[in-house]
A and B are shown apart, each in its own frame.
Chain A
Amino acid sequence: MIQQVIAPHAQRAGGTSPAADEPSVVVNGRARPLGPVGGHTTLLEWLRGTGFTGCKEGCAEGECGACAVLVARPEGPDAVGGEDTTRWTAINACLVPAAGFDGQEVVTAEGLGDPRALHPVQQQMADRGGSQCGYCTPGFICSMASEYYRPDRTPTGTTERVAGADPSVADAAADGRPADDPAAPGHAVDHEHGPNGFDLHALSGNLCRCTGYRPIRDAAYALGEPAADDALAARRAEPAPAAPATVITEGGTEYRRPTDLAGALTLLADNPGARIVAGSTDWGVELNIRHSRADLTVAVDRIAELREFTIEPDALVIGAALTLSEVERAVAGRVPLLSELFPQFASRLIRNGATLGGNLGTGSPIGDSPPVLLALDCSLVLASTAGERTVPLSEYFTGYRKSVRRPDELIGAIRVPTPVAPVTGFHKIAKRRFDDISSVAVAFALVLEGQTIADIKIGLGGVAATPIRARDTEAALVGQPWTGATARAAAEILAAEGTPIDDHRASAAYRRAMLGTALRKFHAQNAAPRQNGSSS
């Protein structure tokens, strides 16, 4: 039984054992009844209400990661060998309805280890000064543990120093760190990846106000491999818990998880006002910050038909309910523009829950994926009980957070036509490099014939009420030679596209200037690009 293999600690929180048919969650190895949660109690509220203190509220909008927990998720559609396995996935507990965890397994920081028997991740963090005030720490622990258990984390074994790395950095032994410390940055492949294969982006959704992050990075880079008797590591070999059909009614609101697409579409047809959630990374913010409430919440994140990834002769078809992390793994570099997008799209914690369907469903003008998907000339498959229709993304948005999608329709999949343009670029303008919302986002997809621009598609975000294509600029560029002069001339057209505004993220003047410089930067980066014919 799962309950026995997961860490035996942490029986300390309260709660009674659930009755057989009662909705329940396995937390730190023990099943606990969900109790009276409607669609509006977040997993964080529920965990803290149940007595767990290993997840904290820092911001309640998925920005700080103090609430991060591990959940057992299926290893996804590209799992080798077809055997269903489990990935310990870190998510923000503050954004997701607790009701969505009926039948699921959750591990919090107190489930990983005990103060007298620390987990290796906890040991490194404690020993290296990775905690100061400690409030963000349990969340960091969970994000770090997720990366520690990442099945494809591969030590590089290299001890070569990064070019330009400073040997004296490693001997900054004021804190007693040995000079041959495996965590020393000089041993890393690059400064965002440790010699143990640890990807620092795994921690991009966790904020710390005290440490300045260096000791946390060193703790991450010093981690070894899970021990042979590590229960959570062993758990990965077994299938993840299935998502059962859930119906929870409380206080006049209802949470429903249909198990198949037909069921979901029928629900939507009968309840056009229903709130559709997948990763709930946007709806969670609405719940917490704006106190929005819905009579009916319908979860679609585990519906198999929405979680397929298919390679067709002329397109990649991405299921709308695949998380961004799953898409990233499934696409596996076949679309360079997506590869550029993902690390800049929110944080790993968000990408572990958020879906492309959700990002397009909310219709935000500053979503990061629409400019990229516009440049890739994607289409959306919209499904309802009446059948399916395919809509070009460029015709999908109709106004601020409005689209052609009817209330009874679900976004089923995103079609990325292939071959993809060989020369691409994604420029996200934001204050912070990791985990920020863009003030301007520009995506380019360029096809050259010789040195002439055969085709270019430019997607823009943050400069109008919807994501848009830079049609005037595209028209001006096609047929022109790909030169600095062309880029400079067209940059002025691009700078006039959209209707940027002043707000707390950036001034209109800066947004306009960024449109203007984007094309020149794209040219500078691709002055002598590859010719047509990509590998995909």
Chain B
Amino acid sequence: MTHGPLADRPNNPKVGLPISHESAPGHVTGTALYTDDLVAHTKDLLHAWPLQAPHAHAKITKLDVTPAYAVPGVVRVLTAADVPGVNDAGIKHDEPLFGDEVRFYGHAVCYVLGETEDDARRGAEAIVVEYEPLPSLMTITEAIEAESFQGAARTVSRGDAEAGLADSTYRFTGEFEFGGQEHFYLETNAALARVDEAGQVFVQSSTQHPTETQEIVAHVLGVHSNEVTVQCLRLGGGFGGKEMQPHGFAAVAALGATITGRPVLLRLNRTQDMTMTGKRHPFHAAWEVGFDADHRIRALKATLTSDGGWSLDLSEPVLARALCHIDNCYWIPDIEVHGRIAKTNKTSQTAFRGFGGPQGMIVIEDILGRCAPLLGAQPEDLRRRNFYVPGQPTPYGQPVRHAERLEQIWATLETKADVVSRRLAIEEFNATSEHSKRALAMTPVKFGISFNLTAFNQAGALVHVYKDGSVLINHGGVEMGQGLHTKMIQVAATALGVPLSYVRLAPTRTDKVPNTSATAASSGADLNGGAIKDACEQIRRRLDVVAAGQLGIHPDDVRFVDGVVTGIGFHDKQIEWAKLCHDAYFQRVQLWAAGFYRTAGLHWDANRMQGEPFKYFAYGAACSEVEVDGFTGAYRVLRADIVHDVGDSLSPLIDVGQIEGGFVQGTGWLTLEELRWDTSDGPHRGRLNTQAASTYKIPSFSEMPEHFAVHLFEKATESGVVYGSKAVGEPPLMHAFSVREALRAAAAAFGPEGHSVDLRSPATPEAVFWAVEEARAAAENGSADAALANGSHNGHARTSGEPVRV
């Protein structure tokens, strides 16, 4: 048959079936293996343990490792002197693997290799280190004051923001600082390295970016990439936290293995993982916004400052994505947004699901949530009024294709969530409930899909068809729970026209598919699916010819469905798939293929911040209802409804899981999860005080909405993407804005009409309590903020800046 556009589906496709995760039977029986599980299969293993410095910033004046060797079981201490290649764990050459300066509290000074983890730990405790403490910067404010920045500052702009603000009927200004987020993947970082039978370095790593892990290991060891293989079986969660952070740990394990000749495991325990690895960037935003008389956004001027921590890592692209998402779903005619990266003495902040997108979008959502009461508008009306319409481009110059979906999704959500009648019920409830209040809020999402950096938008695959008809696929993507491998099996089975059971997927490794991009930016299925489909279609075209010969028809007329090969329109002559493969072999037809995919039509000028960096946008909207206890600020999410656009879903069970999981994870970021650093001048300045599961709380069952419904937006084929699907990993996280905005509205319900609520982020029960107290105070003072009609001005003191009518 002819192989049509990328988005077209054949008859009886395997994509679109709601199948469960390909590893589910292994997950539920505990037999699906992760890096640390390989220990039981590894003889003569050594364990590595980091010696972590107890200073935020200090010069190492003395490092005496000899006492460690007196500890039984200690085999080797690794220091800078052992590095044969480049002493750097990153790609920016600003992350020494073994530094002479401590740059954050918990920074590893050296690593001890021991027969057991306990031996290595006790060895590390014996080492003598002397430090000369240096001044440190712990907060964005401190960094701004000290003018401590790193990397390139960027600006996205269009039109004349100053003129637009001057032209606005209403102008507000404010500030907003919001916290980061620990990934808290259940599996901590782990790397197991050995020198294999052929003398090459083989590293099993919990990495989202095997190729880059391979490159860093190679440059630390001073060898070429072809001497290092990295394999990733699966991750116990990644969420961006294993995109860049695993490289140094893999390099330490590899260094230890090459020096000792024994396998080396470096597995961080939870506290090590939390104190040593980067997190979602916290941001500070200062903004000024103008609306016209009809409440349309006229102009926005803002400065975003991210807290990058001690080194650059991925801070620059994270900032770029924040700047490219501050518009979220809203048309902002005149805009000027500056971005910069603070350098502080914290862990080096990194990728986290959304990759700056959430940090950009929360700024505009916070602005709208705070300004709506001041305008006398319903927040939902204000949001809807400002949606993009077809034909309008983003501030960076990309047309917002399918912008009409925003309105369609919003209307669908209103119906599905029964918004009108529930609003009435909430009003009734609040009228009779003095001590607790309910509210619902709707927020939209538009998220650009593709890596901003165009070069990353490529992928490779290797597909083998064996003589017995069984299929083995390899691709460059990493399975971290997102269901990528499941989707890839579905893509291969669809493209080859065989049952799912014929296809097996092999672990991701760099000697099968080279030069891969990180499994990140939600792009795993788009890119690797494109590559697998390409490989499968090469094989299919060859098999078409073989089958056509046997069926006596033209190759274009051959059909492959469920492992049975027929001609178009007749079924009396059939060839079994396995038989055809067997025959093809004897005709010396190549039964395997390497596939490749590059996303077409992208261009991006990173300096000017202009271009079309995204293949398309993913859309969605969420409606959440909360109930807040006025005595404590404690709250519950009573109900959440989401309508989300995944194109034509490759795998609905997987996609619904991604949407639900993203929503709850985003809700964690915005409500529960609080990273508290010691910012005092005490002896533990710089220490992360929330460095364990007991002090850093991620959502549990109690945070799951009591009623939780996800609806996939229908008839949503995305042309130009594998089988018409859309990426799903990151966009749903931002649906959690609806919870934050509902909390804001519920707090406001304790106060007078028109009171603008300033809500800290994360909106912990404590933060909500203070918001409720402010609302109550406003009621007692009888001063609503939004007394625009009579021109009065509000005068409450606020903790983090407030929208003030200028």
Chain A residues near B (Cβ < 8 Å): 13-14, 48-49, 51-61, 63-64, 66, 108-110, 112-116, 118, 121-123, 125-138, 141, 165-166, 168-169, 172, 174-176, 185, 191, 200, 203-204, 206-215, 217, 285, 288-289, 291, 427, 429-437, 503-507, 510, 513-514, 517-518, 520-521, 524
- Cβ contact within 8 Å between A132 and B29: no
B234 contacts A by Cβ under 8 Å: yes
Give the residue name and chain of the B residue nearest to A208 (CB): B186
Closest 3 CB pairs of A and B: A54-B30, A133-B481, A135-B236
- In the docked arrangement, what's the CA distance between A503 and B27, Å? 38
- Cβ contact within 8 Å between B184 and A209: yes
Contacts A110-B31, A129-B656, A433-B703 known; 16 new A-B pairs at CB < 8 A: A56-B30, A123-B28, A127-B20, A127-B24, A131-B28, A134-B32, A135-B34, A138-B27, A165-B707, A166-B707, A169-B709, A209-B665, A212-B660, A214-B708, A432-B697, A510-B766
Given contacts A131-B21, A175-B18, are A60 and B30 in contact (CB under 8 A)? Answer: no
Question: Of A59, A172, A211, A433, which is within 8 A of B634 by CB?
Answer: A433
**Chain A residues with CB below 8 A from B545, complex form:** none
**Chain B residues with CB below 8 A from A204, complex form:** 700-702
B675 to chain A, nearest CB (A): 9
- Cβ contact within 8 Å between B665 and A212: yes
- Cβ contact within 8 Å between B30 and A291: no
Most chain B CB within 10 A, of A55, A204, A432, is at A432
The B697-735 residues at the A interface (CB cut-off 8 A) are 697-704, 706-712
- In the docked arrangement, what's the CA distance between A51 and B692, Å? 27
- Cβ contact within 8 Å between A174 and B656: yes
- Cβ contact within 8 Å between B652 and A175: yes
Per-position binary interface string of chain B over residues 226-255, scored 1 when its CB falls under 8 Å from any chain A CB and 0 otherwise? 000000001111110000000000000000
Most chain B CB within 10 A, of A52, A122, A213, A507, is at A213
- Cβ contact within 8 Å between B20 and A129: yes
- In the docked arrangement, what's the CA distance between A59 and B692, Å? 7
- Cβ contact within 8 Å between A132 and B481: yes
Question: Of A54, A63, A200, which is within 8 A of B701 by CB?
Answer: A200
B482 contacts A by Cβ under 8 Å: yes
B288 to chain A, nearest CB (A): 31
**Chain A residues with CB below 8 A from B695, complex form:** 437, 504-505
- In the docked arrangement, what's the CA distance between A204 and B271, Å? 22
- Cβ contact within 8 Å between A504 and B33: no
Question: Of B434, B690, B693, B711, which is within 8 A of A63 by CB?
Answer: B693
- In the docked arrangement, what's the CA distance between A29 and B694, Å? 34
B40 contacts A by Cβ under 8 Å: yes
B265 contacts A by Cβ under 8 Å: no
- Cβ contact within 8 Å between B660 and A289: no
The B280-312 residues at the A interface (CB cut-off 8 A) are none
- In the docked arrangement, what's the CA distance between A212 and B667, Å? 10
- Cβ contact within 8 Å between B657 and A215: yes
**Chain A residues with CB below 8 A from B656, complex form:** 129, 172, 174-175
Given contacts A133-B235, A169-B708, are A210 and B481 in contact (CB under 8 A)? Answer: yes
- Cβ contact within 8 Å between B270 and A510: no
Chain B residues near A (Cβ < 8 Å): 18, 20-21, 23-34, 36-37, 39-40, 121, 183-188, 234-239, 269-271, 416, 418, 434-435, 480-483, 629, 631-632, 634, 636, 639, 649, 652-657, 660-665, 672, 674, 676, 689-690, 692-695, 697-704, 706-712, 764-766, 769-770, 773
- In the docked arrangement, what's the CA distance between A58 and B26, Å? 18
Give the residue name and chain of the A residue nearest to B39 (CB): A48
- Cβ contact within 8 Å between A289 and B769: no
- Cβ contact within 8 Å between B711 and A172: yes
B182 to chain A, nearest CB (A): 10
Give the residue name and chain of the B residue nearest to A66 (CB): B186
A175 to chain B, nearest CB (A): 4
B658 to chain A, nearest CB (A): 8
- Cβ contact within 8 Å between B700 and A504: no
- Cβ contact within 8 Å between B632 and A110: no
B699 to chain A, nearest CB (A): 8
A-B residue pair count with CB separations less than 8 angstroms: 285
- Cβ contact within 8 Å between B701 and A203: yes
Question: Of B234, B236, B480, B483, which is within 8 A of A56 by CB?
Answer: B236
**Chain A residues with CB below 8 A from B21, complex form:** 126, 129, 131-132, 134
Given contacts A53-B37, A136-B186, A504-B690, are A211 and B660 in contact (CB under 8 A)? Answer: yes
- Cβ contact within 8 Å between A132 and B482: yes
**Chain B residues with CB below 8 A from A524, complex form:** 434-435, 631
Given contacts A113-B29, A214-B708, are A433 and B236 in contact (CB under 8 A)? Answer: no
- Cβ contact within 8 Å between A128 and B660: no
- Cβ contact within 8 Å between B694 and A437: yes
- Cβ contact within 8 Å between B39 and A58: no
- In the docked arrangement, what's the CA distance between A51 and B25, Å? 19
- Cβ contact within 8 Å between A109 and B660: no
**Chain B residues with CB below 8 A from A60, complex form:** 269-270
- In the docked arrangement, what's the CA distance between A122 and B665, Å? 24
- Cβ contact within 8 Å between B186 and A432: no
Given contacts A118-B28, A166-B639, are A207 and B481 in contact (CB under 8 A)? Answer: no
A-B contact pairs, 11 of them (CB 8 A): A49-B40, A63-B692, A125-B27, A136-B236, A165-B707, A185-B706, A211-B660, A288-B269, A431-B697, A433-B703, A434-B700
**Chain A residues with CB below 8 A from B30, complex form:** 52-56, 108-110, 137-138, 141
Given contacts A429-B634, A507-B766, A510-B766, are A53 and B40 in contact (CB under 8 A)? Answer: yes
**Chain B residues with CB below 8 A from A116, complex form:** 25
Give the residue name and chain of the A residue nearest to B692 (CB): A61
**Chain B residues with CB below 8 A from A63, complex form:** 692-694
- Cβ contact within 8 Å between A166 and B652: no
- In the docked arrangement, what's the CA distance between A376 and B660, Å? 43
Given contacts A61-B694, A135-B186, A174-B652, are A510 and B769 in contact (CB under 8 A)? Answer: yes
B689 to chain A, nearest CB (A): 4
B772 to chain A, nearest CB (A): 10
Give the residue name and chain of the A residue nearest to B762 (CB): A431
- In the docked arrangement, what's the CA distance between A60 and B708, Å? 31
